[in-house]
Structure 1
């Protein structure tokens, strides 16, 4: 049986996710933003927490590790580069490692740019990507460490996944991302449709997580930096490398 994924809100705009292996009963939380909503999600699904897979060290992704570990005895897996910031971790992973949640297997990809220790978890058999704060629905993370080339390379790697790969991100910034995307790419019909979909979802208390790689390649300006229309939007016509267009877009978004 395939993996089961349950998503829910945490804090003000974080998205929590549980990944469940119905064959073994194992269940992993992707990050640990807030104890209460995670416990409620476990209650709602009837799943038992066995693991926490950490994408990066920022407080809004790790602050509930201690109480959840104390309550459940779960295993905590964290990036090797965040070793000093996730002291309760039981295992540390880096590029090329694999993590098992019951019978499910995730490939660990280092995806720096938002921060140096960021990893994403790619469950290839189920085509599920847990991208943390690297790639969002209609957006991407801020560059807080490293440089723009790091984040651009990480995004390009994720964009090379199959179009039907589902992307689970760490925050719901979709409507604010959509407003920026429309400013940068105003003639994109697929983007306009996607924003309308996001507005309809919000009106019903929902959100557009997961998205798919195919949807993001069609609508997310940060994956479209090679498009002449996006280069023109940031005054980079004339053959500027896509990474320069990406940097200009991300810096514009920072001020938007």
Structure 2
């Protein structure tokens, strides 16, 4: 049986994600901004937490890890190279490593850029990728520690995943990201249609940080840095993909 995915709103605009394997009972959470909402969701679903997967060291992604570990005894997985900034790890990870939750295996990707040491988790059978603050809905994370090249390398890894992969990112930044995307890509009909749907999706209570990769490829301006039409619209027809991305990120920082 496939994973059951449950998004848990936390803090002002964060999401934690629960994945549950019905056949084994194994349940993992990806990032824990705060413990209480996750515990409430586990109780409501009747699930027992077995694993905590951490993407990066920012407090709005790990603030509840210690309390949740104490309450559940769950194992904690995170980047070994960033262990000095994370809660104590039971399993230290690097790109190419695997994480097994129940009967499904996830692959660890280095997703540096927002931070150095940021990782992501791709579960190919479930068609899920947990990208936190690297690839985000209609955007990407600000480059607090890494370089534009590092972030572009990370985004390229996600672009190479199957189009039907569902991207689960760390924040609901959709309104601001949509406004910026329109400022650089207003003639994109897929983008205009996505933004028109987003208000209805929000009213229906759908998590705004989840979207299929195919939609991100069509509408996310940062993933469209490869498109000659995007380069031309920015006045950079001969620019490399990474330079186009860096220019877009700099524009967004000032937006």
**What range describes the TM-score normalised by the shorter chain of this pair?**
over 0.9
Name the SS for the 1:143 alignment partner. Answer: coil
Contact 1:81–1:116 under 8 Å retained in 2: no
Name the SS for the 2:156 alignment partner. Answer: helix
Contact 2:66–2:87 under 8 Å retained in 1: no
Aligned to 2:13: 13
Q: Deviations over 1:198-244 (max 9, x none)?
A: 1112233433342111111000000000223322343313x110111
Aligned to 1:166: 166
Could you tell me the TM-score, scaled by structure 1's length? 0.96
Distance between the aligned counterparts of 2:218 and 2:208, measured in 1? 15
Distance between the aligned counterparts of 1:15 and 1:196, measured in 2? 23
Name the SS for the 1:126 alignment partner. Answer: coil
Distance between the aligned counterparts of 1:13 and 1:252, measured in 2? 23
Contact 2:7–2:207 under 8 Å retained in 1: no
Aligned to 1:154: 154
Q: Deviations over 1:97-130 (max 9, x none)?
A: 1011122211111111111111110101111101
Q: Structure 1: any 5+ residue segments left out of the alignment?
A: none
Superposed, which structure 2 residues align to 1:192-203 within 5 Å?
Answer: 192-203=192-203
Distance between the aligned counterparts of 1:22 and 1:70, measured in 2? 24
Contact 2:173–2:209 under 8 Å retained in 1: no
Distance between the aligned counterparts of 2:71 and 2:92, measured in 1? 21
Aligned to 1:70: 70
1:176 maps to 2:176: yes
Distance between the aligned counterparts of 1:100 and 1:219, measured in 2? 32
The alpha carbon displacement at 1:246 in A equals 0.5
Give the length in aligned residue pairs. 255
Name the SS for the 2:226 alignment partner. Answer: coil
Q: Structure 2: any 5+ residue segments left out of the alignment?
A: none
Distance between the aligned counterparts of 2:226 and 2:96, measured in 1? 28
Q: Deviations over 1:28-72 (max 9, x none)?
A: 000111111111111221111111000111111111011101111
Distance between the aligned counterparts of 1:62 and 1:48, measured in 2? 19
Contact 1:198–1:207 under 8 Å retained in 2: no
Aligned to 2:247: 248
Q: Deviations over 1:71-115 (max 9, x none)?
A: 111100011121111232211100111011122211111111111
Aligned to 2:61: 61
1:109 maps to 2:139: no
Name the SS for the 2:5 alignment partner. Answer: strand
Aligned to 2:222: 222
Contact 1:175–1:199 under 8 Å retained in 2: no
State the Cα RMSD in Å. 1.1
Distance between the aligned counterparts of 2:204 and 2:210, measured in 1? 16
